[in-house]
């Protein structure tokens, strides 16, 4: 059976949904594909396994017709229905609907009325003030379109860390399964765990580069081979992501991995240091500069050892002070995923999550956690089935009963309480006082000005029951800019009132981002690394939050959910006891 990753199948399903929408098909048909995309993206099992066990049609959300198309894709590498749709609809329209704020209806209108089939044509039409003449549109629409194009271009051809990491992991796993391959790994910004990734870089150590290149370029996920040499190849996957593969001799692997991990800025500094020491460093190894004698490199750490430096982890390699810190023994001891003792922001099916509290407990136990907090939405967020006062109370009682039965894992009863437009919280204090943990978040009123937004968050932090501010800037990568908020003031208030700030680990958010994390951590602000998972599979995304913390130079002590359960409960109580002005 040919092998295509689930995430790519999910992507094709969502593209079919988009094409159907552009075609003006029935909403039920569109929703069916959207739903299938979501289900497949979150599936815990590989599709080929389900197909071979004939269980694909039993998966809720995948009907007979869609199952047939997936089987066709797996067997033949293509779906006829999808190819026909693509032939019918100008491909540029698919690109146009990726612009934030432009839906299928507007794209259709732009196409039928003005013949617009690409982003460049759209931009030209805006600049010629043609859009405002269409019914239902105005100069404001033009402005929004321009802003959307700008946003899209700032991340053009880029993908989120979550997708790049999954694809790189799948390819690396496959490459490592080949007898020709000794070593393989992702390099580049994927390895440095940047929030968005342009191309994926893979490095392989093998004595048979031509064989590896041959096999790699024939993978079923490959849509197009851009370049193909004896030791290098570049391809574009079905999802439109570019992967560059470098194959080197196994004894050059670590030097190549280091070189292609970058960043460029970090490498420049490394080469300068090498030069000062009479050494030469490149992707082939470390050499004496006078007679090119190679020095032993049996791991990346050896490269730094030859320079008289301790090992610098990939997440720090940005030339943002890591080399100076390494020279003076000042590198942080970065927090690691094994340090995380629990997740403090999870949604259950009591509000808009998909899993029961029991399923969340099972997953948390599987991850080796000591605790997990159930933080469903509060009552004003009706769209997310926010809990009324009574429902919240009922949930607290239910969690108590579960805790009486649970031996190793403590379930914290919590809430993600909305910070309302006037800065009040969505529950009264006596209700919040009943919670083990309170995450306070903004979910509405983003259009307020900076002072108002900042004031709302700070007034929430002043409340003695609020332990954590959730997703502090509200950004959605590639879709919504952070709201204007004075983070410096927020960091100061966090210190003053003893409130932690969240790193939301969802690859669509990563909020706070690495830069702000470093700033906050440097000031002594406490951080909580949470997933905000609405589905237990996404509790695994904690790794991206940890990576962001590492990119922000955080150590274990900066992060509250590295504490043991007892310590954490004491910490959470402390805030309520300290009087604040």
Q: Which is nearer to Zn ion, 470 or 552 (CB)?
A: 470
Token pair 């996920």 in the structure block, residue: 221
Query: What's the 3-state SS for 11-74?
Result: HHHHHHHHHHHHHCCCHHHHHHHHHHHHHHHCCCCCHHHHHHCCCHHHCCCCCHHHHHHHHHHH
Say if residues 506 and 531 touch (Cβ distance below 8 Å): yes
- Least gap, CB of 469 to Zn ion (angstroms): 10
Site stretch for Zn ion (CB under 5 A), options 186-194, 361-369, 435-443, 573-581: 435-443
Apex 260 CA angle, 204 and 515, nearest 5: 130
Name the phi and psi angles at 237, rounded to 5: -80, 170
426 binds Zn ion per the rule CB under 5 A: no
Site stretch for Zn ion (CB under 5 A), options 4-12, 240-248, 509-517, 532-540: 532-540
- Least gap, CB of 403 to Zn ion (angstroms): 22
Going along 198-341, which residue ranges are E strands? 200-206, 222-228, 232-237, 242-248, 279-282, 285-288, 294-295
- Least gap, CB of 71 to Zn ion (angstroms): 36
Site stretch for Zn ion (CB under 5 A), options 35-43, 131-139, 357-365, 415-423: 415-423
- Least gap, CB of 202 to Zn ion (angstroms): 34
Q: Which is nearer to Zn ion, 70 or 527 (CB)?
A: 527
**Binding flags for Zn ion, 365-404, as an x/- string (CB under 5 A):** ----------------------------------------
Q: Which is nearer to Zn ion, 162 or 470 (CB)?
A: 470
- Least gap, CB of 161 to Zn ion (angstroms): 19
Nearest to 297 by CA among 355, 251, 364: 251
In three-state secondary structure terms, 324 is helix
Q: Which is nearer to Zn ion, 377 or 518 (CB)?
A: 377
Spell out the residues 6+ positions from residue 124 whose beta carbon is closer than 8 angstroms to its own: none
Query: What's the 3-state SS for 394-425?
Result: HHHHHHHHHHHHCCCCEEEEEEEEEECCCCCE
Q: How far is 411 from 406, CA to CA, in rounded Å? A: 8
Q: How many residues does the chain have?
A: 581
Site stretch for Zn ion (CB under 5 A), options 160-168, 403-411, 440-448, 486-494: 440-448
**Binding flags for Zn ion, 281-320, as an x/- string (CB under 5 A):** ----------------------------------------
Q: Which is nearer to Zn ion, 262 or 414 (CB)?
A: 414
Out of 416, 508, 511, 514, point to the residue binding Zn ion (CB under 5 A): 416
502 binds Zn ion per the rule CB under 5 A: no
- Least gap, CB of 471 to Zn ion (angstroms): 6
Site stretch for Zn ion (CB under 5 A), options 248-256, 263-271, 392-400, 414-422: 414-422
- Least gap, CB of 302 to Zn ion (angstroms): 44
Out of 237, 441, 513, 548, point to the residue binding Zn ion (CB under 5 A): 441
Q: Which is nearer to Zn ion, 209 or 470 (CB)?
A: 470
Name the phi and psi angles at 71, rounded to 5: -65, -40
Q: How far is 443 from 436, CA to CA, in rounded Å? A: 22
Going along 290-436, which residue ranges are E strands? 294-295, 342-346, 371-377, 410-418
- Least gap, CB of 470 to Zn ion (angstroms): 5
- Least gap, CB of 352 to Zn ion (angstroms): 9
Q: Among residue numbers 55 through 74, which ones bind Zn ion (CB under 5 A)?
A: none
Q: Which is nearer to Zn ion, 192 or 345 (CB)?
A: 345
Spell out the residues 6+ positions from residue 67 whose beta carbon is closer than 8 angstroms to its own: 56, 57
532 binds Zn ion per the rule CB under 5 A: yes
Provide the β-strand partners of residue 500. Answer: 468
Token pair 């191309």 in the structure block, residue: 199
**Binding flags for Zn ion, 444-473, as an x/- string (CB under 5 A):** --------------------------x---
Q: Which is nearer to Zn ion, 314 or 472 (CB)?
A: 472
**Binding flags for Zn ion, 155-174, as an x/- string (CB under 5 A):** --------------------
Q: How far is 120 from 95, CA to CA, in rounded Å? A: 11
Say if residues 234 and 225 touch (Cβ distance below 8 Å): yes
Q: Which is nearer to Zn ion, 142 or 535 (CB)?
A: 535
Token pair 């009863």 in the structure block, residue: 413
* Sheet hosting strand 527-530, strand order edge to edge: 342-346, 371-377, 410-418, 437-441, 468-469, 500-504, 527-530
- Least gap, CB of 414 to Zn ion (angstroms): 10
Q: Which is nearer to Zn ion, 300 or 426 (CB)?
A: 426
- Least gap, CB of 16 to Zn ion (angstroms): 30
DSSP states of 176-200: HTSTTEEEEEE-HHHHTT-SEESSE
Q: Which is nearer to Zn ion, 178 or 476 (CB)?
A: 476
Q: Which is nearer to Zn ion, 279 or 387 (CB)?
A: 387
- Least gap, CB of 319 to Zn ion (angstroms): 34
Q: How far is 363 from 47, CA to CA, in rounded Å? A: 21
Going along 422-560, which residue ranges are E strands? 437-441, 468-469, 500-504, 527-530
The secondary structure of the chain in percent helix, strand, coil, rounded to multiples of 5, reads 50, 15, 35
Q: Which is nearer to Zn ion, 256 or 432 (CB)?
A: 432
- Least gap, CB of 228 to Zn ion (angstroms): 45
Q: Total number of residues binding Zn ion (CB under 5 A)?
A: 4
* Binding residues for Zn ion (CB under 5 A): 416, 441, 470, 532
């Amino acid at each position: 059976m040919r092998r295509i990753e689930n995430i790519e199948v999910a992507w094709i399903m969502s593209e079919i949904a988009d094409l159907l929408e552009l075609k003006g098909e029935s909403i039920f048909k569109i929703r069916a594909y959207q739903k299938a995309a979501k289900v497949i993206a979150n599936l815990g099992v590989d599709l080929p396994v389900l197909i071979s066990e004939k269980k694909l049609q039993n998966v809720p959300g995948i009907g007979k017709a869609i199952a047939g198309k997936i089987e066709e894709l797996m067997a033949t590498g293509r779906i006829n229905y999808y190819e026909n749709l693509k032939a019918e609809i100008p491909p540029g329209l698919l690109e146009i609907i990726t612009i934030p704020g432009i839906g299928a209806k507007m794209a259709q209108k732009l196409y039928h009325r003005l013949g617009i089939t690409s982003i460049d044509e759209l931009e030209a039409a805006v600049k010629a003030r043609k859009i405002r003449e269409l019914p239902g549109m105005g100069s404001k629409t033009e402005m929004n379109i321009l802003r959307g194009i700008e946003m899209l271009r700032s991340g053009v051809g880029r993908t989120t860390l979550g997708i790049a990491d999954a694809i790189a992991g799948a390819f690396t796993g496959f490459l490592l399964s080949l007898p020709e391959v000794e070593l393989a790994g992702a390099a580049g910004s994927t390895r440095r765990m940047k929030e968005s990734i342009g191309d994926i870089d893979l490095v392989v150590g093998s004595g048979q580069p031509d064989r590896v290149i041959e096999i790699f370029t024939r993978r079923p996920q490959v849509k197009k081979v851009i370049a193909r040499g004896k030791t290098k190849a570049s391809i574009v996957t079905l999802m439109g992501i570019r992967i560059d593969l470098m194959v080197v001799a196994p004894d050059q692997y670590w030097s190549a991995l280091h070189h292609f991990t970058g960043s460029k800025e970090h490498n420049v500094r490394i080469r300068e240091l090498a030069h000062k020491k009479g050494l030469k460093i490149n992707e082939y190894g470390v050499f004496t500069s006078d007679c090119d004698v190679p020095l032993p490199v049996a791991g990346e750490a050896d490269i730094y050892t030859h320079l008289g430096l301790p090992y610098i982890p990939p997440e720090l390699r940005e030339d943002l002070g890591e080399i100076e810190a390494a020279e003076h023994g000042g590198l942080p001891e970065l927090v690691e995923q094994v340090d995380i003792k629990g997740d403090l922001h999870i949604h259950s099916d009591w509000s808009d999550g998909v899993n029961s509290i029991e399923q969340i407990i099972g997953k948390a136990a599987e991850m080796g956690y000591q605790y997990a907090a159930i933080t469903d939405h509060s009552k004003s967020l009706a769209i997310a089935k926010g809990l009324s006062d009574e429902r919240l109370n009922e949930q607290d009682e239910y969690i108590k009963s579960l805790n009486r039965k649970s031996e190793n894992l403590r379930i914290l009863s919590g809430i993600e309480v909305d910070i309302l437009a006037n800065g009040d919280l969505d529950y009264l204090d006596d209700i919040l006082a009943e919670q083990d943990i309170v995450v306070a978040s903004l979910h509405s009123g983003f259009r307020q000005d900076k002072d108002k937004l900042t004031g709302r968050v700070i007034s929430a932090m002043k409340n003695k029951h609020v332990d954590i501010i959730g997703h502090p800037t509200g950004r959605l990568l590639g879709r919504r800019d952070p709201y204007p908020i004075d983070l410096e003031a927020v960091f100061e208030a966090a210190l003053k009132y003893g409130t932690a700030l969240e790193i939301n680990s969802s690859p669509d958010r990563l909020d706070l981002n690495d830069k702000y994390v470093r700033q906050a951590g440097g000031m002594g602000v406490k951080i909580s690394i949470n997933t905000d998972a609405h589905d237990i599979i996404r509790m695994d995304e904690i790794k991206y939050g940890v990576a962001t913390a590492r990119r922000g130079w955080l150590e274990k002590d900066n992060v509250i959910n590295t504490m043991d359960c007892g310590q954490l409960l004491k910490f959470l109580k402390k805030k309520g006891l300290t009087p604040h002005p």
